[in-house]
Structure 1
Amino acid sequence: MKQPSSKKAGLQERILKHMSNPKYRPLSRPDLAKAMRIHSKERNQLRQALINLETAGKVVSLRKNRWALPETRDTIAGIVRVTDKGFGIFTPDCGKEEFYIAKDDLKCALHEDRVSIERLPAKKPPRGRPAFRNPEGRVVSVLERKAQEVVGLLKRTPYYAYVIPDNLRLGHDVRVADVEKELGEIPDDHKVVIRLNEWDDPFKPLSGTVIEDIGHSDDPNVEMQCILRAHGFRQNFSEEVLAEAEKMPHELRPEDYEGRTDLRERLTFTIDPETARDFDDAISLEKVSNGWKLSVHIADVAHFVPKNSAIDKEALHRGNSIYLVDRVVMMIPPELTTKICSLNPNVDRLAHTVEMTITENGQMVAAQTCRSIIHSDARLNYDQVQALFDGETDDQIPASVVEALKALRPLIRTIRKLRTDDDGSLELDTPQIKCILGKDGKVASIEKGEAKEAYQLIEECMLLANVAVARKLKEAQWPAIHRIHEEPDAEMWAQMGAELQALGIDALPATRADINAVLEKVAGHPMEYSANMAILTNLKRAGYSAEPAGHFGLAFDDYVHFTSPIRRYPDLVVHRLLTALEQNGKQPYRSNDIEAIAAQCTRTETEADAAEKESIALRRAEYYRDLLYKGETGPYTACVIKVLGKGLLIELEDTLQRGLVAFSSITDDRYELNASKTKATGTRWGKSFQIGDEIEVDLVKVDVQRNFVDFHLTGQEQFSAKKKGKPQRRKKGKKQTVAFNGNAKYGKKPKKRRNRK
């Protein structure tokens, strides 16, 4: 047998060493190459090295083409998620079947920790109890702790203080081992942040050091602060960052105008939400011989925020701005976002401009970029522009801007149709929820926002600019932070098809074209929203990458984020790259820098989305709690979005509030789920509920802390009398037993025993 060369052997050793790191998770070959910093010229060698190692049994290829060391005979690595009942569900890195982890077998593992477990031998369940569907395991060691800091409520006993975590899935109170000196004495019932100490003995308490006092738990402001801190964000900036921001100019200086293209004579305007305070994009439109010149001007934040400055480091840490129900947590200080960087009307501002030549049929035939000076002529909001499109007059919009909008509207319609019809971009209609706050800070009403044409007009302009910049960086073979959206995997396609079938839609999508065919079929149909949700929940999350993996949803081969440098850090990085390219300068970032920034921004975006959803869920649950107190219990129109073992997960039509209709509250029958968990059918009368069904429900219970909202079917007494089909005949000699309200039985009644003394 031919011996491998020393170079190949060296690469194999590097691979094994990298995979043996306890923090290593299975990676695909491209991701492994990036993680190991293997040059693109060596990718073929990496491929051959993995094949050789697999042949030798030293590595294995897992599901989704990921590579890892073979599992040892005794342990398996993966993520454990603790349920609200205290036991854990372990998902192996290899993606095989999940394991049930009993509460006592979690040892020192907390929710979402990466752990290694050992498989336990199968055991016979106690008499009268069903066998576990999943194999059982026991945690051997914690490989990576997910939660380093915990937010919770401070309490005291006569002997010690402890913190009750807000995240009830952590399952353990945290003993206060120390408090940072500058915090002093913290009163009871204050929300605090506690940094966890090392914990490797389950017979000793979990402990930590209190590092922050957020405030009293009854303070409404504290609730939102807790959500932010739980996801690793802070609302306030450090003194160092604020001091640096204060030194920024409030007006443009003569040196700021140097080396820029003067576009101040060009008609320019901004369109933003009415409540916006910072404006980072503006547009211009001019008629040219071969069509139109559409200019997208983006605030030149990079000019005022130097790389590696205190503001820049904080912006990278935050990754993006965060939009909670009652506040916006900005990525960079407001001294910059609302003043010198914001493209306010009637003042000179610095911008980075993308000029695109677009034909009458919507094709972008040329594009160029430049650092510019602009002068916005008007600040419009979406409602104004939509009213204009709907035929209303608005004297506040200058006549020249009205003329530009009327010319831009049909052009954008053509561009949008080209993107969706010809290129196959997905057009998912996902309404957004807006909580309207009253003077007391509580939610007065909840509105479901619809996508308006005015918003779509700006969206298309930004998409064009992002694509133009991505193409320019690609042609120059420069690195970039790419916005990627991967295609669904096989399991997602299968689940998407099952859920669509449950809705009565005869489709099994396997491509983007198949999805578009479904969307076209259900457009305007009552089940349109349900079909959109069935598709959306089975798509992967978009993220950032150093590699141009393409954007599945938008049908773009290469795509970057460039148009929001005030609120997204990847855009700021792309601005710096583009500026250096235009000035024939040195690349400001190395490939490994780009990879690290992409990973950080993907993580912070995920955390920010979770924080935003939690803030809406909290305020919305409080809203329904108040309605319950007032006796406003319904009925509400709802849609069944999921069928669970314990009941129907429903979503209210008007507010998208989710809740549970427990099967135990449906008293007409006992319901069983089908194999795909898309339908529940009564075993006695045959009535069924499935995904997409529209039902009427009444509000019965709200638990704000756990974010549980429970409903019952409206008119349950009348509903239970509507029996479908005939009851099955009872066989002679056998008693038929059907669960009724969870405990009652049909059949012969047991004889009452007399109490004999």
Structure 2
Amino acid sequence: MDETFEKRKKIIYEFLCDDIYVPMKLKELAVLLQVPKEQKADLKAVMDALVEEGKVCLSKKGKYCKGEAKRLTGVYQAHPRGFGFVTVDNEEDIFIGEEDTGGAFQGDTVEIAIIKAPEGRRREGKVLRVVSRGVTKLVGLFRIQKDKNYGFVIPDSQKFARDVFVPVEHAKGAVNGHKVVVELTSWGDENKKPEGRIVEIIGHINDPGTDILSIVKSYDLPVEFPEKVLNQAERTADVVSEADRAGRKDLRDWQMVTIDGEDAKDLDDAVSITRDGEHYLLGVHIADVTNYVQERSALDREALNRGTSVYLVDRVIPMLPHKLSNGICSLNAGVDRLALSCIMTVDKKGNVIDHEIAETVIRVDERMTYTSVKKILEDKDPEESRKYEKLVPMFELMEELADILRTKRHRRGSIHFDFPETKIVLDKEGRPLELKPYDRNVATKIIEDFMLLANETVAEDYYWQELPFVYRTHEAPDEEKMRKLATFINNFGYTMHIGVNEIRPKEVQKLLTKAEGRPEESLISRLALRSMKQAKYTPENTGHFGLAAPYYTHFTSPIRRYPDLQIHRIIKDNLRGRMNAAKIEHYQSILPEVAKHSSETERRAEEAERETVKLKKVEYMAERIGETFEGVVSGITKWGIYVELLNTVEGLVHVANMYDDHYDYYEDRCEMVGEHTGKVYKLGQKVYVRVIGTDRLSRTIDFEIIDEGEMDDGEEQYENDCQ
């Protein structure tokens, strides 16, 4: 192997083309070629070059095969640091290095070749060509060049790393500081920036509401309803008619309530409970939205397009017009409403021993709030208990059954990630006044427990009927990711049992239970969550790993989720005897796309919601530059320490801002240690920080660590308020 690199390539390629050659790994090839151990790296470089040239393909198992490199098509996901990943159906994401992106942008459909397949690690690829562009419009900040006839749009999304060049004649009159929507006319290349024209001016960056509206536009969330949809909504009835009630089970004399947050207006679930000897008769009554949203109507097509309601910090973008979502479809107290009810007989061990799914007419007794029910059950508030005296026995029965159901789920291995969600209080101008964790109390848990049981019961019923359906599925996590997690947690004294080709949810649950209350709890919970796959909607039932449930669906929120609306339609066709061969064929043909689209719109909504929360947290802390806070170390990396405050804000103490020493990162122990002082920072450690900077564009917050003695005088009151 003393020849030049090119000669080596030629010799090896000719060898590979020999008919006796079979796919083999690098070490096998090295043996055949009699390559000395010290020259194995040279052989690998030759093989990588042959793969990159397309003369050799590299299998998923790391075997080199003669013939052209296998080409895959997938969607490119960009990373702010320049590299990216390509998502290919039914395969693990493929890493794309910065030099191999081939001019691909976020969301583009691309064709790639695998150039590296290291054993036990993620495969690497190279973009060969862009098949189609995924994004044609971007939202960003316009900057015009002084005394020039052009400007630039700086994209809001960190996944688009390049500014967009805009000639002044295509600027639509935009000025410095305007947030705009720019339509790309050219995607540029290595030497030329992308080019575009401004199609919409959202508003000035400092105008109230512009920040959130920019996120809405970035995610292409539909806001206004088409006139045809609004007209159809206006024609729906305001009251339940006698014809609507015909043929339905009449539950209007059943004692039942809705329990929601104070500001909720679309009330789509009511609950009832009584004793039946030793058993509980639990009713979960869901708004019958399909009575007002007919299949293929303008309302239905718009609801399918939206897929879900989107809950941003300052507004809700509903799936259905308010006339429906807050009116006839909302289970408002004291009025007749149409429902689809799942009435379950539950034994004292939490097993559903009988159930009925029926079209019903109901009348809710009271519109309760989580806070009010908590006061009754948890705080034993005498005034609140007197106010709802007739309902108190029902609430106590609910708490009793919910405890049984929760214990049963825990016993079977259901996993619960208890990350604090943030409630953000805004003023009239949209400025954040207060950040605090959402209160998860006895009432929120009761509703969660009852909805889970109804969803499981309905899913199991329709699974065994072998009818077309939409399930909520959650696949078992990737074994390799779980093994990496198991290796990491060994550093903290934890172990996980991972069987051959089998990972049980009980093992993850046991890990989270062991870590509960420990300094590393937050990190381990986050790592465990990242090791999981995302739940999605599918027409096939494969079970729900996270809930340790063999059957699961989304039945309980048809006002705000399209999959729930879709399965209500299927259930009603079945109950009314209309599920003939033609109907079955119809549903089998549409459900794969309905499930796929619903999963995609759910992802989009979640990302938009997270971005608005991050933005308002940054705005909140931007008003507090120089102020000091108590927090805990929530993460440690080689570039710094992440600190989470009591109000759920997380910021970074960059190593460059750790002035008292040079700090080394020890990955195996997940610690940061001072080289000279020996000072150690560990997960869960209490620290005091000062806010030194914020960045609205990247939505990041920078801290520096201070001594406790440097805390502000008013900090004690702040901590008490948060707690």
- Is the TM value for this pair above 0.5? yes
State the Cα deviation string for residues 149-173 of structure 1 (Å, max 9, x = none).
Answer: 2112345565346533212431233
After TM superposition, list the pairs within 5 Å mapping 1:348-359 onto structure 2. 348-359=336-347
Distance 1:179 1:557 in 2: 60
User: CA shift at 1:196, angstroms?
Assistant: 2.9
Q: 2:233 matched to 1:245?
A: yes
SS in 1 for 2:456: helix
Q: Cα 1:364–1:664, aligned 2, differ >3 Å: closer, same or farther?
A: same
Aligned to 2:52: none
User: CA shift at 1:607, angstroms?
Assistant: 1.1
Distance 1:684 1:290 in 2: 68
For normalisation by structure 2, the TM-score amounts to: 0.80
Aligned to 2:44: none
Q: Cα 1:481–1:78, aligned 2, differ >3 Å: closer, same or farther?
A: closer
Q: Match of 1:420, as an amino acid?
A: H
Distance 1:191 1:463 in 2: 42
Q: 2:485 matched to 1:496?
A: yes
Q: 2:257 matched to 1:265?
A: no
User: CA shift at 1:424, angstroms?
Assistant: 1.6
Q: Match of 1:371, as an amino acid?
A: E
Q: Match of 1:707, as an amino acid?
A: R
State the Cα deviation string for residues 396-426 of structure 1 (Å, max 9, x = none).
Answer: 74333212112222122112111112x2211
Distance 1:475 1:672 in 2: 58
Q: Cα 1:529–1:277, aligned 2, differ >3 Å: closer, same or farther?
A: same
Aligned to 2:220: 232
Aligned to 2:694: 702
Q: 2:398 matched to 1:398?
A: no
Match among 623, 626, 637 for residue 623 of structure 2: 626
Q: Match of 1:193, as an amino acid?
A: V
Check conservation: 1:92, 1:98, Cα contact below 8 A: no
Aligned to 1:163: 153
Q: 2:148 matched to 1:153?
A: no
Aligned to 2:452: 463
Aligned to 1:639: 633
Check conservation: 2:150, 2:168, Cα contact below 8 A: no
User: CA shift at 1:216, angstroms?
Assistant: 2.8
Aligned to 2:588: 591
Match among 434, 452, 457 for residue 441 of structure 2: 452
Q: Match of 2:267, as an amino acid?
A: F
Aligned to 2:597: 600
SS in 2 for 1:590: helix
Q: Cα 1:511–1:401, aligned 2, differ >3 Å: closer, same or farther?
A: same
Check conservation: 1:285, 1:404, Cα contact below 8 A: yes
Match among 654, 660, 663 for residue 652 of structure 2: 660
SS in 2 for 1:169: coil
User: CA shift at 1:230, angstroms?
Assistant: 1.1
Q: Cα 1:567–1:58, aligned 2, differ >3 Å: closer, same or farther?
A: farther
Q: 2:106 matched to 1:111?
A: yes
User: CA shift at 1:428, angstroms?
Assistant: 2.7
Check conservation: 2:209, 2:430, Cα contact below 8 A: no
Distance 1:591 1:516 in 2: 36
Aligned to 2:266: 278
Q: 2:287 matched to 1:295?
A: no
Distance 2:661 2:76 in 1: 35
User: CA shift at 1:351, angstroms?
Assistant: 0.6
User: CA shift at 1:657, angstroms?
Assistant: 1.8
Q: Cα 1:264–1:140, aligned 2, differ >3 Å: closer, same or farther?
A: same
Q: Match of 1:661, as an amino acid?
A: V
Aligned to 2:48: none
Q: Match of 2:651, as an amino acid?
A: G
Q: 2:643 matched to 1:650?
A: yes
State the Cα deviation string for residues 293-328 of structure 1 (Å, max 9, x = none).
Answer: 111110001110111212211111111111111111
SS in 2 for 1:606: helix
Check conservation: 2:664, 2:674, Cα contact below 8 A: yes
Q: Match of 2:647, as an amino acid?
A: T
Match among 296, 317, 321 for residue 308 of structure 1: 296
State the Cα deviation string for residues 27-67 of structure 1 (Å, max 9, x = none).
Answer: xxxxxxxxxxxxxxxxxxxxxxxxxxxxxx99997479xxx
State the Cα deviation string for residues 157-196 of structure 1 (Å, max 9, x = none).
Answer: 653465332124312333458999xx97656643232333
User: CA shift at 1:245, angstroms?
Assistant: 1.3
User: CA shift at 1:441, angstroms?
Assistant: 2.8
Q: 2:509 matched to 1:533?
A: no
Q: Which moved more, 1:200-209 or 1:702-711?
A: 200-209
User: CA shift at 1:493, angstroms?
Assistant: 1.0
Q: Cα 1:717–1:455, aligned 2, differ >3 Å: closer, same or farther?
A: closer
User: CA shift at 1:247, angstroms?
Assistant: 1.4
Q: Cα 1:275–1:234, aligned 2, differ >3 Å: closer, same or farther?
A: same
Aligned to 1:27: none
Match among 565, 574, 586 for residue 581 of structure 1: 574
Distance 1:403 1:203 in 2: 73
Distance 1:288 1:135 in 2: 58
State the Cα deviation string for residues 226-251 of structure 1 (Å, max 9, x = none).
Answer: 11121120222222221221111112
State the Cα deviation string for residues 522-552 of structure 1 (Å, max 9, x = none).
Answer: 3444544444333223222211111111101
State the Cα deviation string for residues 341-374 of structure 1 (Å, max 9, x = none).
Answer: 1000000011111111112232210111111110
Name the % identity.
31
Match among 356, 360, 367 for residue 348 of structure 2: 360
Aligned to 1:30: none
Q: Match of 1:591, as an amino acid?
A: Q
Q: Cα 1:560–1:644, aligned 2, differ >3 Å: closer, same or farther?
A: same
Distance 1:136 1:690 in 2: 34
SS in 1 for 2:97: strand
Aligned to 2:608: 611
For normalisation by structure 1, the TM-score amounts to: 0.77
Match among 404, 413, 423 for residue 414 of structure 1: 404
Distance 1:489 1:458 in 2: 31
Check conservation: 2:672, 2:681, Cα contact below 8 A: yes
Check conservation: 1:347, 1:376, Cα contact below 8 A: yes
Q: Cα 1:499–1:387, aligned 2, differ >3 Å: closer, same or farther?
A: farther
Check conservation: 1:90, 1:101, Cα contact below 8 A: no
State the Cα deviation string for residues 411-464 of structure 1 (Å, max 9, x = none).
Answer: 22112111112x221133222111122344321111112421111111111111
Q: Which moved more, 1:598-607 or 1:671-680?
A: 671-680
Aligned to 2:475: 486
Q: Cα 1:209–1:596, aligned 2, differ >3 Å: closer, same or farther?
A: farther
Q: Which moved more, 1:155-164 or 1:367-376?
A: 155-164
SS in 2 for 1:399: coil
After TM superposition, list the pairs within 5 Å mapping 1:486-565 onto structure 2. 486-507=475-496, 510-565=503-558
User: CA shift at 1:690, angstroms?
Assistant: 4.3
Gaps of 5+ in 2: 1-54, 711-723
Aligned to 1:141: 129
User: CA shift at 1:577, angstroms?
Assistant: 0.6
How many residues in Structure 1 have an aligned counterpart in Structure 2? 636
Distance 1:544 1:317 in 2: 15
Q: 2:242 matched to 1:254?
A: yes
Q: Match of 1:444, as an amino acid?
A: L
Check conservation: 2:58, 2:114, Cα contact below 8 A: no
User: CA shift at 1:269, angstroms?
Assistant: 1.0
SS in 1 for 2:624: helix
Match among 408, 427, 443 for residue 438 of structure 1: 427
Q: Match of 1:194, as an amino acid?
A: V
Q: Cα 1:306–1:202, aligned 2, differ >3 Å: closer, same or farther?
A: farther
Distance 2:193 2:551 in 1: 51
Distance 1:440 1:380 in 2: 30
User: CA shift at 1:706, angstroms?
Assistant: 1.6
